[in-house]
Amino acid sequence: MDADSSDDEVPTLIHPEDDDSAPDLISATDDENTRSKVPITIITGYLGAGKTTLLNYILTEQHGKKIAVILNDFGDTIDIEKQLTVSDANTTSASPIPFVPLANGCICCSVKDVGVAAIENLMEQRGGFDYILLETTGLADPGNIAPLFWLDDGLGSSIFLDGIVTLVDAKNVLKSLDEGYGDEKTEEDSEAHDHDENSPLLTTAHLQISHADVVLINKADLVSEEELGSVVERIRSINGLARIKTTTNSQVPQLEDFILDIHAYDEVKDADLKFSSKGHSHLDPTISTATIIFPSLAPVQVAKFDEFLRTMLWEDRLPGNVSHTNFEIHRLKGRIPITDGRVLLVQGVRNVYDMNETKGTAISKGTDQDEAKLVLIGRGVDQEAFRNSLLATLAIHC
Ligand SMILES: Nc1nc2c(ncn2[C@@H]2O[C@H](COP(=O)(O)OP(=O)(O)OP(=O)(O)O)[C@@H](O)[C@H]2O)c(=O)[nH]1
């Protein structure tokens, strides 16, 4: 399940060929920029899944980093007990650890006002830390948080999103996915999460898993091997990109690569996309992962590929006269070789995406490297329809 290793060079930003009102993306991939920016890992997961336990574990492990922790508390009250728990457990050499509790509301609703201000405030203490962990409330939707680090000029210039780690409770996660167990059903939630009465229930657990770069299936001690296997299978069917680790008491043996320095948004390694050979699973009726495999692009097709992405992500439809059901993309990653030797790397969260190219990577014809892969995670993602639409778009005017 742990798949990750590649010697690929760090990608650089390419400039879009047209000026088509693309959001002003801030590349986290420029070598020098990335080095001077502070990485942030978002830790999300259901109420009681083990987020605080994970923070305590990280802060007491030897990792040679000075870590700042931001707690995003839900509601008006500050969870004093939780802050003390983490502070007291900090026996690491990294000190002091500034705590910035976000007292007012869930970060997904008010991140512009509260979350950004707290992070900017924290950045004034720069030099006191070299890594940020943001623990979100159990009800947060990470899809609203992640694009901020691309789109907010202020934030994007000083920090970069390293990755999203989602904790799930092995004992309760299937219930959460099937019944929305643990979700507070407000009217707003019902509208946002389940707007179409005929669609299967979209729960907070789905949102947290579909956006994850790493899923920790915690509380493994509370379930049998067989139950654990079913949980792994279900999560893999929702999010085929995430690396999955089972833990007890949130103890991740290897923090580097799994929690810290994941580089989930500035690299797209071939190994990240390797699960795709296992095919499209419909184990979860609500969200699935689709992999579109297609031949490497001719240079003139790059603009067409971009058009496909824009139409899909910004207009919520598929180009090329392909019929499809309603869909919603949560996360996408792609690795697209071009016949002139370049390789395009694509990253996206919801309707925000970024396309970079690797420098001078030669492709060997007739090998796996020659194959382009686009992986999509979301609702209503019909692999065949998406592939047909992409191929139809690439064929036009080429
Ligand atoms: N049996 C068992 N208990 C665990 C494990 N991990 C955490 N716990 C316990 O589960 C409870 C909740 O853990 P927390 O780390 O507070 O969970 P959280 O996600 O921060 O919870 P909220 O802040 O409410 O969202 C605590 O009593 C932990 O000691 C585990 O792997 N197995």
Per-residue pLDDT of 11-38, as tens digits, reads 333 333 333 443 433 344 444 445 578 8
Ligand 1: centre distance to CA 221 (Å): 12
DSSP strand E in the chain: where?
Answer: 12-13, 38-45, 67-71, 131-135, 159-169, 214-218, 243-246, 288-295, 328-337, 343-349, 352-358, 371-379
222 Cβ below 6 A of ligand 1:
yes
* CB distance 52 to ligand 1 below 6 Å: yes
pLDDT for residue 190:
47
What is the pLDDT, as a whole number, of residue 366? 54
- What is the β-pairing status of strands 371-379 and 328-337? antiparallel
Residue with tokens 């009800």: 139
Angle between helix 302-314 and helix 383-395 axes, rounded to 10 deg: 140
**ipTM for the whole predicted complex goes beyond 0.95:** yes
Query: Region 42-48: what's the mean pLDDT?
Result: 89
Whole-model pTM: value is 0.79
Please report how many Cα atoms fall inside a 13 Å half-sphere around the Cα of residue 22, on the Cβ side.
18
Query: Which of 115-119, 202-206, 254-258 tops mean pLDDT?
Result: 202-206
Q: DSSP alpha helices (H): ranges in 124-211?
A: 142-145, 148-151, 153-158, 173-179, 187-193, 204-210
pLDDT digits 0-9 by tens, 311-351: 999 999 999 888 888 899 999 999 999 988 889 999 999 98
For residue 49, give the ligand 1 atom closest to its CA: 19
298 lines ligand 1 (CB under 6 A): no
Of 326, 299, 82, 312, which is closest to residue 195 (Cα–Cα)? 326
Q: Which residue has the higher pLDDT, 283 or 195?
A: 283
Higher pLDDT, 122 or 235: 235
Nearest CA to ligand 1 atom 13: 50
Report how far residue 333's alpha carbon sits from residue 295's, in angstroms, rounded to the nearest whole number: 16
DSSP H or E run through 122: helix 116-123
Instruction: Provide the pLDDT for residue 115.
Output: 60
218 C-beta closer than 6 A to ligand 1: yes
Residue with CA at minimum distance from ligand 1 atom 32: 219
Q: What is the DSSP letter of 366?
A: T
Residue nearest to atom 27 of ligand 1 (CA): 48
Structure-derived torsion over alpha carbons of residues 263, 267, 268, 269, reported in degrees to the nearest 10: -80
- The per-residue pLDDT for 184 is 66
98 lines ligand 1 (CB under 6 A): no
Sheet holding 328-337: strands in order across?
Answer: 12-13, 352-358, 343-349, 328-337, 371-379, 288-295
Cα torsion 319, 320, 326, 330 to 10°: value is -50
Nearest ligand 1 atom to the CA of 222 is: 1
Does pLDDT of 75 surpass 60? no
Residue 248 beta carbon below 6 angstroms from any ligand 1 atom: yes
Instruction: Please give the torsion angle defined by the CA atoms of residues 58, 246, 206 and 307, in that order, rounded to the nearest 10 degrees.
Output: 80
Percent of the chain at pLDDT > 90 equals 35
pLDDT tens-place string over residues 86-107: 333 344 443 444 455 444 333 4
CB 159 within 8 A of CB 42: no
What are 215's strand-pairing partners?
166, 244
- For 219-234, write each residue's pLDDT tens digit: 999 999 999 999 999 9
| Mutational pocket test of ligand 1: of 47, 52, 221, the residue with most ligand atoms within 8 Å of the beta carbon | 52
CA of residue 248 to ligand 1 center, whole Å: 10
Return the structure tokens found at 227. 């139950």
Domains of the chain: 30-266 (3.40.50.300), 275-395 (3.30.1220.10)
Average of pLDDT values for 388-395?
93
Regarding the beta carbon of 75 and ligand 1, being less than 6 Å apart is answered no
Reading the block at residue 301, the tokens are 């097709």
Q: What is the DSSP letter of 164?
A: E
- Closest of 236, 326, 238 to residue 287, by C-alpha: 238
User: Quick check: 354 pLDDT over 90?
Assistant: no
